[in-house]
Amino acid sequence: MVQNVYSWENIHQFFPPEKVENLRKQIIEEWKSDKFKDREIWERYGLSENAFYDLIKRYSEEKENGLKDKSKKPKNPDHKIEIDDIKIIIQKAQNEQERIKSHQIEFENGMVNSGRSLLSIAVKNSPNSAG
């Protein structure tokens, strides 16, 4: 028995979809033949136990179509963010940054105007001060 030198994650990530589909078919054929133990099959192909049984379940439920890569396209297109929505999100983030910056400036000016500078407080509380 030949053991695969690639992990299933690498195969799935770097091999062409047709090759991955063929490997899935080969796995299913070996599983259906009853010539090998399940562990032998998943170890040979670099699958985890869970990935192996997920493939078997997927095959059992969907038969041949269950062996192709599934689309990564969102199933619900309403969750897709449009260009106009992106512009609105960016504008709101910029407005929030400006609001925070203006509050920070007001706070700092208030500290200076009241005679309590942030710098003098930081210096007075520093470990090197003789206070």
74-129 pLDDT tens trace = 666 666 778 888 899 999 999 999 999 999 988 888 888 888 766 655 555 556 65
Last residue of a domain, one of 45, 67, 89: 67
Last residue of a domain, one of 67, 91, 111: 67
Residues 88 and 120 in one domain: yes
Residues 12 and 62 in one domain: yes
Domain containing residue 39: 8-67
Write out pLDDT tens, residues 12-38: 777 888 888 888 888 889 898 989 898
What contacts 60, CB < 8 A, 6 or more positions away? 66
What's the rounded Cα separation, in Å, for the pair 101 and 109? Answer: 12
Q: Is 96 exposed, middle or buried (0-12, 13-18, 19+ CB in 10 A)?
A: exposed
Task: Give pTM, 2 decimals.
Answer: 0.47
Residues 62 and 12 in one domain: yes
Q: How many domains does the chain have?
A: 2
Structure tokens that stand for 66 in this block: 């269950």
Residues 58 and 103 in one domain: no
Last residue of a domain, one of 67, 91, 112: 67
Residues 94 and 56 in one domain: no
Residues 59 and 33 in one domain: yes
